[in-house]
Copies of this chain bind each other. A is one copy, B any other.
Amino acid sequence: MAEGTEAQGPPGTTAAARARPAAHAHTGPWLAQVLRERISAGELPPGTKLAEQALAEQLDVSRNTLREAFGTLSAESIVERVPNRGVFVAKPEAEDVREIYRVRRMIEPAALLWGELTEPALAGLEEIVGRAVAALEAGDVPGMADANQQLHGAVVSLAGSPTLSTVMDQTLARMRLVFNRMSDAPDFHTAYAERNRDLVELLRAGRREKAATALRAYLDTAEGELLDHLRRWGR
């Protein structure tokens, strides 16, 4: 998994320089996306220092442009900026986990209660649940994690609000950081596939309040387990 999917390549004509959208258009956002992917993928684990000069020449962009990308990522809490010290890949603590779940406990049930339950949206949710169950039976843990995140993202998208979907995406990115912190990630998602299925069935039946309540309980226990594992395993 080292080549092919990753858009490696800066503007210049040097080393690994290919597949960049265009020379004179948005290198900043492109760069931010590259870093996002590398961080989510687990290389650049939490706590890693991102030195400006080194990274700039490795990615073959100017220090200025790299700085712009840092600004974006720091606004997303994916990266932490310490004045005069540098930027580091965010290293979520217990408080960060609590904040993540505070957000999720608000916007996910809200979307269930008040979002627009169109037929295609419901079908989409069921499709995702199907994939999660398939991954479960195949023992494909990363696949389950993926499907799980997609499901919760799809739930929020019921609200029909790009703003809230963005917030949820960023929150899920922070979740990935939390998982990256725990080197031995137990199969957190195994137990949740079933819960997700029940959730979508409640939605299909139109029982929104019940679904919202169940989701809140679900998020409560998930937060608790995560905090436990963080206490025991996370440094």
Interface residues in chain A, defined as those with a beta carbon under 8 Å from any beta carbon in chain B: 25-26, 28, 64, 67-68, 71-72, 75, 83-84, 99, 102-103, 105-107, 109-111, 114, 159-164, 167, 171, 216
Contact = CB atoms under 8 A, between A and B. Distances in A.
B72 A103 contact: no
A29 B71 CA distance: 10
Given A72-B75, A109-B114, A164 B67 contact: no
A110 B219 CA distance: 15
A72 to B, nearest CB: 7
Given A109-B110, A110-B110, A111-B106, A71 B163 contact: no
Q: Give the interface centre of A64, A103, A105, A171 by most chain B CB atoms within 10 Å.
A: A103
Secondary structure dominating the interface of A: helix
A102 B157 CA distance: 11
Nearest to A69: B71
A106 B102 contact: no
A145 B25 CA distance: 40
Given A107-B110, A110-B109, A162 B99 contact: yes
Contacts of A105: 114
Counting chain B CB atoms within 10 Å of each CB, the highest count among A71, A159, A162 belongs to A71
Contacts of A114: 105-106, 109, 216
A-B pairs, 9 with minimum CB distance: A102-B161, A110-B110, A106-B110, A103-B163, A106-B159, A103-B161, A71-B71, A75-B75, A167-B167
B28 A102 contact: no
Contacts of A109: 110, 114
Contacts of A26: 83
